[in-house]
Amino acid sequence: MRSEVRTIAWRGGVVEILDQRKLPRAVRYLRLKTARQVAKAIRDMAIRGAPAIGVAAAMGLALTAYRSKTKSREKLLERLRESYMVLRASRPTAVNLFWALDRVMRVAESSRAAEEARRRVVEEALRIMEEDIEANKRMGEYGARLIEDGDGILTHCNAGALATAGYGTALGVIRAAHAQGKRIRVYACETRPRLQGAKLTVWELMQDGIPVKLITDNMAAFLMQRGEVSKVIVGADRIIAKTGHVINKIGTLSHAIAAKYYGIPFLVAAPTSTIDFESRVEEV
């Protein structure tokens, strides 16, 4: 995605998010000032994608800390815990959300005074955002090594800059391969029922001039059978460490089964914050 377009940004006590419900027809930003507004934006899918949700949740806690005037460490922590519970309930499937919230709360609870906690919470939220962008760029670099010149790549849903703080996971790999001069073509599944592939992935790739064709979800196996797809790459909402299960947008399983049948490599690009080290798949 072009550098001037950011999914989420901190603007001096205001969180700006790109309202993805308006894409691709309009580029509009929401200005959020409270954790509850951030939670609503997550629930309403104004911002979506597991890494982006994690960053947004961290920013929600940062808003609570930044806007609190209390000089009491205990009262500030109480307000942060209230915001924590509101944000935690906004999207139960994205483990990045819980990871980011817990990380910021550990910083707050380890602070000795309210002012220190306020400063450190904001700094930690911004650090999470920047780390996500850097991790995505590294994933793109590593993943691009698996992409060959002339590859036809199938992707499902949107795992690009819009699903992260920037650059993207699955689309980050595609973006990096394209930047290296590899001639690739992308097949973006429309991704019903919310059409994230049609509305978001195609828009992203067109912004970067990467060749992309929009296909219906049930065309994927047909294209594999014809030899037009040589790689499948997706992101993930959650990866279960104990068993290796990948939890992602509905429809991903059928692509994985078809890819296995036709002997096509199936790649998952996700940061470590997406890995769930505690849960079993039956609990998710």
Q: Are residues 129 and 151 in the same domain?
A: no
Q: Are residues 224 and 159 in the same domain?
A: yes
pLDDT in tens, the chain (284 residues): 454 468 999 999 999 999 999 999 999 999 999 999 999 999 999 999 999 999 999 999 999 999 999 999 999 999 999 999 999 999 988 899 999 999 999 999 999 999 999 999 999 999 999 999 999 999 999 999 999 999 999 999 999 999 999 999 999 999 999 999 999 999 999 999 999 999 999 999 999 999 999 999 999 999 999 999 999 999 999 999 999 999 999 999 999 999 999 999 999 999 999 999 999 999 98
Q: Are residues 173 and 247 in the same domain?
A: yes
Residue 65 near residue 82 (C-beta atoms within 8 A): no
At residue 3, the pLDDT reads 42
At residue 5, the pLDDT reads 65
Q: Are residues 276 and 154 in the same domain?
A: yes
Q: Are residues 50 and 159 in the same domain?
A: no
Residue 66 resides in a domain: yes
Q: Are residues 118 and 193 in the same domain?
A: no
**What letter does residue 4 receive in the DSSP assignment?**
T
Residue 172 near residue 160 (C-beta atoms within 8 A): yes
The model's pTM is: 0.94
Residue 91 near residue 47 (C-beta atoms within 8 A): no
Q: Are residues 130 and 15 in the same domain?
A: yes
231: domain CATH number is: 3.40.50.10470
End residue of a domain, out of 138, 154, 171: 138
18: domain CATH number is: 1.20.120.420
| Residue tagged active-site, from 132, 151, 237, 276 | 237
Burial 135-161 (b: 16+ CB within 10 A, else e): bbbebbeebbeebeeebbbbbbbbbbb
End residue of a domain, out of 121, 138, 155: 138
Contacts by 79-82, CB closer than 8 A, 24 or more apart? 80/105, 80/108, 80/117, 80/121, 81/105
Residue 261 resides in a domain: yes
State the DSSP H helix or E strand holding residue 104, giving kind and residue range, or none if neither.
Answer: helix 95-109
End residue of a domain, out of 109, 138, 167: 138
- pLDDT, tens only, 86-133: 999 999 888 999 999 999 999 999 999 999 999 999 999 999 999 999
Residue 204 near residue 1 (C-beta atoms within 8 A): yes
Q: Are residues 113 and 45 in the same domain?
A: yes
Q: Are residues 118 and 190 in the same domain?
A: no
At residue 119, the pLDDT reads 98
Q: Which residues form the domain of 241?
A: 146-283
Residue 80 near residue 67 (C-beta atoms within 8 A): no
Strands, E assignment, the chain: 8-10, 15-18, 29-32, 152-155, 185-189, 212-215, 231-234, 238-240, 246-247, 266-268, 275-276
At residue 284, the pLDDT reads 86
Q: Are residues 129 and 156 in the same domain?
A: no
At residue 4, the pLDDT reads 46
Residue 17 resides in a domain: yes
Residue 132 bears catalytic tag: no
Q: How far apart are CA 16 and CA 73, in angstroms?
A: 27
